[in-house]
Copies of this chain bind each other. A is one copy, B any other.
Amino acid sequence: MLAPVLKEIDQTTDPAIERLRQYLTIPSISGSPAHVAEVARAAHFTADALKACGLTARVEKTSGHPLVVAQTTPDIVANPGAPRVLFYGHYDVQPPEPLELWASPPFVPTLRDGAIYARGASDDKGQVHAFLEAVGAWMKVHGKLPGPLTILIEGEEEVGSAGLTGYLKAHAKELAADIVLISDTHLWAPGIPAIIYGLRGLVYFDVQLYHAQSDTHSGMYGGSYANPLTLLTQVLGQLFDEEHHITIPGFYEDVAELSGQELARWQELGFDEDAFLAQIGVHEPFGENGFDTLSRRWARPAGDLNGIWGGYQGPGSKTIIPTMAGAKVSFRIAPNQKAQRIARQFEHWLKSFDVHGCAWKVTSYTACDPVLLPVDSPWIAKAAVAIEHTCGRKPVLARDGATIPVVSSFKSLLGLDSLLVGFGLSDDNLHAPNEKFGLSNYTLARRTQAALLQELAR
């Protein structure tokens, strides 16, 4: 069944690129209040593209920007008893600024050096579009898809997916499926596909400490009362011990142990720690004692101060005791840790310190669970078959240290695991000027998505 679909895809590359080009002309900047109508236009473009494939698609209202939903009816499914795949993507994009750094305008898609340059080319319109093209090819060649399919393309991924979360809660039953397929990540390296099977969670806090009604003179008051900045630094300075372990009681209790098998498999990935760090100008790895860099990034929690402020920040000197100090503190939590539990533990730990009359103001911004799909999951096996078929090699099974909140939402709200199979490259300039998507990767994506539609329906 797949061979003629791949042939169709190979023969329609030029018109596919033209359709992608049109998609990328729409400035669907979800974070810009001035672009609300353009975001809606991209939703309708997405729905129309699905309808052109022969699917029934609708644009659904949410608390924010609309999302696009399509579900196959039994008449267009070859095997209606096959597992149902829920494909997720997003049609919204990051703001393009600074505009002066773009070689061609961000919403005038331009082909050069074998790639298409535009905001959203890789993140995520280009990858969504490749999937739609694969669906279209199946429908054109066979009039049917291999298995039941639900498609969910949202318009708020770049601004927190609030509307999607509400929609998932309200429509959990209708969205019942067997596996989520997401194409919003990248290849392991050029020509080397990857399946991401693990992500860290995120717990993020804003903590502020206050004392005195205003800044005071450090000569007159130094030594009289607790300086909130000194105290905040003292407290947060105790977040790590000498081995760079996080000192919050119970913090590591739930962390999933890393198996020797998994570690051995990672050894074979050829991860070059020195090159990875040299890219950002760093020459000394550092983290939790007793683990290598890949384990620290993928399988171990990490704590970071992401920001701090208080008192005088200008040139020269100003002799004040500031009235407050604040910090952003976050934890990337490892598989099996529970975000809500870590958040409670951190807040309890923070407030266990005597701050000598200062007052805390603590805000929790995010508490997102980590996710981990067992490496021996049959879904991974099926996806690997599809990928090997179109890429000519087995995919790398990798984790990622970052957090993709929608993956946690699919797990917690729909009970679904996610397969992360992406086709971008790490130098595609996501969220930066001159975003691009290699045309060969676009075609690899269309072909591999066609194969995934077949294999995941087995």
Residues of A at the B interface (CB closer than 8 Å) are 200, 202, 204, 206, 211-214, 216-227, 229-230, 233-240, 276-277, 280-288, 293, 296-297, 300-313, 316-322, 325-328, 330, 332, 356-357, 365-366, 400-403
Asked if B403 and A219 sit within 8 Å, CB to CB, the answer is yes
Asked if A213 and B281 sit within 8 Å, CB to CB, the answer is yes
Instruction: Give the interface centre of A213, A218, A225, A321 by most chain B CB atoms within 10 Å.
Output: A218
Nearest B-chain residue to A160, judged by Cβ: B316
Taking CB atoms, residues of chain B closer than 8 Å to A212 are 280-282
12 contacts between A and B (CB under 8 A): A213-B280, A214-B280, A219-B401, A222-B304, A223-B301, A224-B285, A229-B305, A230-B303, A233-B327, A307-B310, A317-B365, A317-B366
Which of these, B202, B230, B300, B325, contacts A219 with CB under 8 Å? B202
Asked if B332 and A402 sit within 8 Å, CB to CB, the answer is no
Taking CB atoms, residues of chain B closer than 8 Å to A284 are 225-226, 356-357
Docked CA distance A325–B332 (Å): 21
* 8 additional contacts (CB under 8 A) given A206-B317, A212-B282: A200-B219, A220-B401, A222-B303, A222-B304, A230-B239, A307-B322, A308-B325, A317-B365
Taking CB atoms, residues of chain B closer than 8 Å to A293 are 223-224
Taking CB atoms, residues of chain B closer than 8 Å to A237 are 233-238
Instruction: Give min CB distance, A302 to chain B, whole Å.
Output: 4
Instruction: Give min CB distance, A67 to chain B, whole Å.
Output: 22
Taking CB atoms, residues of chain B closer than 8 Å to A276 are 224
Asked if A222 and B328 sit within 8 Å, CB to CB, the answer is no
Asked if B332 and A311 sit within 8 Å, CB to CB, the answer is no
Docked CA distance A328–B218 (Å): 12
Taking CB atoms, residues of chain B closer than 8 Å to A303 are 222, 230
Taking CB atoms, residues of chain B closer than 8 Å to A321 are 304, 306
Q: Report if A300-B227 is in contact (Cβ < 8 Å); known contacts: A237-B236, A319-B202.
A: no
Nearest B-chain residue to A404, judged by Cβ: B219
Q: Report if A322-B310 is in contact (Cβ < 8 Å); known contacts: A286-B356, A297-B222.
A: no
Instruction: Give min CB distance, A429 to chain B, whole Å.
Output: 14
Docked CA distance A313–B221 (Å): 27
Docked CA distance A212–B286 (Å): 13
Taking CB atoms, residues of chain B closer than 8 Å to A218 are 302, 304, 306, 330, 332
